Amino acid sequence: MNTERISGVYARALLEMGAEAGTLDAVGVEMALWHQAIRGSPEFRAFLATPKIPPAGKMDVVRRAFAGSLSEGFFGFIGVVLEKRRGLLFHEIAKIFRIGLDERMGRSSAVVRTALPLVDEVAARLRATLESKLGVNIVLDGKVDPSVIGGLWVRVGDKVLDGTVLTRLRTFRRLMGAGKLRSEVAYED
């Protein structure tokens, strides 16, 4: 059994738990908090994955660290994953959970890479444009990536829109190298 299938089982179980309790939104917030913590700390991920520390010891640390931030149901979910020695899968579980949550809520996540943080007005226009083109509610996940130089890169599901300066420069270089672009065209206004 591969890790994606195993992670999917845990993610779907958490989705069902939240749906049955009528707390799917709250569970989504908790998962986002949990995912942020494990994504942001390689040491914490290693702690959760190590077989040298018993699950009860890990749960004690998790309860103290997240007291007041996570519900008993979510602590129970974490405990089950740790008891089954699947702590290494938390990141993948969180990703699959978010996709499932978005589907249930009728929305889609759009990853947006820009050289600088998106200004609120630009983010709102981008969200509205994507929603009208794709027919779903969009949740923007902005990532700052100075390598794009300018413009933006957007991924919604399996669709990618690349309007970055970096990609344009690479295309221009490839065309120049292949002799498909004359130099006088490059300097026209």
Consecutive H or E run containing 46: helix 42-49
Instruction: List the single range of 25-39, 43-57, 135-149 with lowest mean pLDDT.
Output: 135-149
Only one residue has tokens 């969009």, namely 138
Average pLDDT over residues 141-154: 90
Does the model's pTM come out above 0.75?
no
- In the predicted model, is pLDDT for residue 80 greater than 60? yes
Pairing of strands 159-162, 107-114: unpaired
Instruction: List the single range of 30-34, 45-49, 175-179 with lowest mean pLDDT.
Output: 175-179
Amino acid at 38: I
Length of the chain: 189
Average pLDDT over residues 9-37: 95
Count of Cβ atoms closer than 10 Å to residue 61 Cβ: 13
**For residue range 61-72, what is the model confidence (pLDDT) as tens digits?**
999 999 999 999
- CB-based burial, 15-32: b 16+ in 10 Å, e otherwise: bebbeeeebbeebbebbe
- In the predicted model, is pLDDT for residue 185 greater than 60? no
* Higher pLDDT among residues 179 and 168, named by residue: 168
Predicted confidence at residue 5, as pLDDT, reads: 94
